[in-house]
Structure 1
Amino acid sequence: MQSLYVDGDTRMHKLSPRIKLIVLALLGVILFLTDRISLLALAAVVGSVLYFAVGMSLREALVRLRPVFLVILFVALFSLLFNPLHDAMTTVLRLITLMLFAAMVTATTTISAFIDEITFLAGPLEKIGLVRAADIGLAVGLVVRFVPEIVDRYGAIREAHEARGLKIRLSTTLVPLIILTLRDADSIAAAIDARGIRRH
């Protein structure tokens, strides 16, 4: 499996994963408490600077963002149809800012660090009997780890369609993507159970 982590020695790499996750959570709250275009645009610029300073090439950095940008573009078009321009712009800027900061966090934090921090943060919920902290950490780690795999698999399906001269449709790409993803999920779940991880 691939990883979203980018090996590096930047300040963001050295920053504690706990601090990065807490700041990301607070940022998500703050962004939705303001509708000032200037502040949201400034936050997006700061997010861009931090993300592109992680240590990736420009092409790799843009390729990583492409799937999320397509979703944001769809949301932007939908928002423009049903909302005033100002509201549509604030929505898009919020999403772009969160995307850039989240991408920066995942690029500078290893999967093991993610799992450790999420497990720690879910500890209070485990004490009151709501969840198992280890299961939450494992689930989040697997989701982060699966993202590049799903993106690459979608690209392979598209290339297979193009090689056969088939028109690329959502119905003909989404179904095999879901089937392959679920198959891998079953394999990983079986491996986890075989090692007794969830029983611990």
Structure 2
Amino acid sequence: MTLSDYIPGHSPLHHLPPGIKILTLAILGTLLFVFPRLDATLGALLVVMLLYPLARISLRIMLLQLKPLLWVLVLLFAVQWWMVSWQSSVLVIARLATLMLMAALVTLTTRTSEMIDALEKGLFWLRFLRINPTKVSLALSLALRFIPVLAGITAEVREAQKARGLDRSVLAVAIPVIVRTLKMADDIAAALEARDWDPQLRRERSDAEKVRE
């Protein structure tokens, strides 16, 4: 199983409407940055970690969500401690870990199709701006889904460069990550084009099928 693959289940979190989970993630992320308090952030992290057993997701899978970002968290911790204080370093990594675990929990308990439908319904008002909410919802769901994937790519590139003694070079890690990310985006675009994915056409076909029924 790869990071943040959907895990079928019958837990309360699995049955929770996708829109509520996405809205909770957005509110949590906003509050963590609007109120940068260490005690509140650690409390939020503890609550998110307790949600994993509630969703019947093992501790190993939860830790796998953080593993690709471990070196980033350690680096941020060291930099913040050196430049500001240890309290600031703990706040930064606790906030990132909370957001990472919450975003992963949403994707672990929500099918991608359900996530897209929920985002599309919530972004209906974009139609008044002549923006297709289906395309926006697809972009947002893919971004949420591939956050852990990008973290995994970064970890793989760093391990490869470490064998060459280049793991401490920012450019040696960043450039391959960017190239692999762009290639992945191109592959996804090609797959959508090959399947003739058109949100408007899909909606028209769905309406036609309902009429026939």
Deviations 1:90-119 (A, max 9, x none): 333332322222222121111111111222
How far 1:156 sits from its partner (Å)? 5.7
Partner of 1:47: 48
**Paired residues of 2:48 and 2:98 also in contact (CA < 8 A):** yes
Distance change in 2, residues 1:64/1:194 (3 Å): same
The Cα shift of 1:53 comes to 4.0
**Structure 1 stretches of at least 4 aligned residues deviating more than 6 Å after TM superposition:** 158-162
Structure 1, unpaired ranges of 5+: none
2:129 paired residue number? 128
Aligned residue for 1:197, secondary structure, equals coil
- Post-superposition Cα deviations, 1:37-78, rounded to whole Å, max 9, x if no partner, equal 333222211111113443333333212211234333333322
Could you tell me which residue of structure 1 aligns to residue 197 of structure 2? 197
- The secondary structure found in structure 1 opposite 2:48 is helix
Give, in angstroms, the shift of residue 160 of structure 1: 6.2
Q: Deviations over 1:142-171 (max 9, x none)?
A: 334444554555566567678xx6435355
Instruction: State the AA in 2 paired with 1:167.
Output: G
TM-score by length of 2: 0.73
Q: Counterpart in 2 of 1:79?
A: 80
**What secondary structure is seen at the aligned counterpart in 1 of 2:55?**
coil
Residue 40 of structure 1 contacts residue 90 of structure 1 at CA under 8 Å; is this kept in 2?
yes
RMSD of the TM alignment (CA)? 3.1
CA distance in structure 2 between the partners assigned to 1:26 and 1:158 by the alignment: 32
* Corresponding position of 1:167: 165
Partner AA of 2:189 in structure 1: A
Comparing 40-49 and 13-22, the one that deviates more:
40-49
Partners of 1:173 and 1:193 in 2: how far apart?
Answer: 31
Name which structure has the greater RCO, CA cutoff 8 Å, separation 6+: 1
Normalization by structure 1: what TM-score? 0.77
Number of the residue aligned with 1:179: 179
Identity %: 32
Aligned length: 197
SS at match of 1:109: coil
Local SS of the residue matching 1:134: helix
